Amino acid sequence: MTKIYPDRLSPQQDDFYNALMDAHAGLSDTQSHALNARLVLLMANQIGNLEILKDLMETGRSYCDE
């Protein structure tokens, strides 16, 4: 099920997005892919709540193309 999450990034959303792009700068596709995986794991640990994490995975998955 898709859950709608309240916005918690603004007003710093552009700073965040830019930092994320900077983190990927200069990496090959494979390296970028691996970085994304590491970031998910790190962020999951920061969130530290299985309930929330499962909801997030379900919501993320719900946007997949059929």
Partner 1 sequence: MAYDYTPYPFVPPKGLSETEPRHPVVIVGAGPIGLSMAIDLAQRGIASVVLDDNNVVSVGSRAICWAKRTLEIFDRLGVGERMLAKGVTWKVGRNFHGEDEVFSFDLLPEDGHKYPAFINLQQYYVEEYLIQTALEFPELIDLRFKNRVTAHEDRDDHVLLTIETPDGSYTLEADWYIACDGAGSATRERMGLTFEGQTFEEQFLIADIEMKDSPFGEASVPERWFWFDPPFHAGKSALLHMQPDNIYRIDLQLDVDADGKAEAQEDKVIPRIKAIVGDKPFRLDWVSVYKFRCIKLDRFVHNRVVFVGDSAHVVSPFGARGGNGGVQDVDNLGWKLAAVISGQADTALIETYHEERSHGSAENILNSSRATNFMTPKTPAEALFRSEALRLAHDQPFARKLLNSGRLSLPCSLEGFALQTDGAAQVAPGHAMLDAPLTGPDGDTWLIEKAQGAFTLVGFGDVHLPDLAGLPRIGINQRADYPCYTATHGHAIRRYGSDIAYMFRPDGHVCAVFRNPTAEDVQAAIDTAMGRALETEA
Q: Which residues bind partner 1 (CB under 8 A)?
A: 2, 4-10, 13-14, 17-18, 20-21, 24-25, 27, 29, 32, 63
Instruction: Considering the complex, state which of residue 24 and residue 54 has its C-beta at the smaller distance from partner 1.
Output: 24
SS3 of residue 37 by DSSP: helix
Give the residue from 47, 63, 65, 66 showing the smallest Cα distance to 1: 63
Instruction: Considering the complex, state which of residue 10 and residue 45 has its C-beta at the smaller distance from partner 1.
Output: 10
Instruction: Considering the complex, state which of residue 17 and residue 58 has its C-beta at the smaller distance from partner 1.
Output: 17
Contact (CB, 8 A) for 4 and 56: no
We find the least distance from the C-beta atom of residue 29 to partner 1, in angstroms, to be: 5
Show the tokens assigned to 1. Answer: 């099920």
